[in-house]
């Protein structure tokens, strides 16, 4: 079996969503300074790099990241190629999903751009609200995308997040899919077990048959 790491590395200078905390790593113990071991202090936001959005991210009183069903994040998964000429993902893309699809990762033009340079770009491809509603109708449990946000909403009302999280679908953001061709995989994704967390940085991989 071939395992593909679709996680974004965490490092100083990595891309972050505008307004989110900037990742930093500070050495606390260093063998170069004569300490017996190396140890670092990390500073990061709960939505840094590859991460899971739990319902409480937008829905008050709903499940936090340490309460989500890990079965929803792990298991059979379909990577879907989105025409790189498209600036957003619409319901027409969702309509082509095979019946019974429960986990889907959208591979858009974003992945090729991430492969060239891990630098934030504001014109990233994201889901339109009608795509989110179509996914909810299909009872998809996990929606992933190769962007730091599943939506690009200048209005600030976040209809895509609210539609998905409000109907029990988890969101996986910040994945790198350049090395993952369209098709069926097994997804392994474990967010950090942050108590009462509104998000959870995660390591995510795809295993191909």
Q: Could you tell me which residues come within 8 angstroms of residue 12 by beta carbon, excluding any fewer than 6 positions away?
A: 23, 24, 25
Task: Tell me how far apart the alpha carbons of residues 155 and 39 are, in angstroms, rounded to a whole number.
Answer: 42
Residue 10 contacts residue 49 (beta carbons within 8 Å): yes
**Cα angle 189-58-24, degrees, rounded to a multiple of 5:** 60
Task: Tell me how far apart the alpha carbons of residues 203 and 50 are, in angstroms, rounded to a whole number.
Answer: 7
Residue 79 contacts residue 73 (beta carbons within 8 Å): no
Catalytic hit among 57, 133, 161, 167: 57
Task: Tell me how far apart the alpha carbons of residues 82 and 91 are, in angstroms, rounded to a whole number.
Answer: 12
Per-residue tokens: 62: 């709903």
* Integer CA distances (angstroms), 59 to 115, 138, 169, in order: 33, 21, 12
Annotation says 57 is catalytic: yes
Residue 143 contacts residue 72 (beta carbons within 8 Å): no
Helices of type H across 11-90: 70-73
Residues assigned a catalytic role: 57
């Amino acid at each position: 079996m071939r395992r593909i790491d679709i996680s974004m590395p965490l490092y100083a200078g990595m891309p972050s969503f505008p307004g989110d905390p900037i990742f930093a790593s500070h050495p606390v113990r260093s063998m170069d300074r004569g300490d017996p071991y190396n140890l670092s202090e990390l500073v990061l936001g709960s939505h840094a790099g590859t991460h899971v959005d739990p319902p409480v991210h937008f829905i008050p009183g709903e499940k936090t990241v340490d309460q989500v069903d890990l079965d929803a994040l792990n298991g059979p998964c379909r990577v879907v190629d989105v025409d790189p000429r498209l600036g957003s993902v619409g319901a027409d893309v969702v309509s082509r999903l095979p019946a019974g699809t429960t986990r889907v990762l959208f591979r858009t033009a974003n992945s090729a751009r991430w492969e060239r340079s891990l630098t934030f770009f504001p014109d990233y491809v994201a889901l339109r609200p009608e795509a989110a509603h179509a996914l909810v109708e299909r009872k998809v449990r996990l929606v992933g995308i190769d962007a730091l946000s599943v939506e690009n909403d200048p209005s600030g009302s976040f209809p895509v997040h609210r539609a998905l999280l409000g109907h029990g679908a988890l969101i996986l953001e910040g994945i790198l899919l350049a090395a993952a061709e369209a098709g069926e995989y097994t997804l392994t994704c474990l967010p950090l077990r942050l108590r009462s967390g509104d998000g959870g940085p995660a390591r995510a991989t795809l295993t191909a048959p």
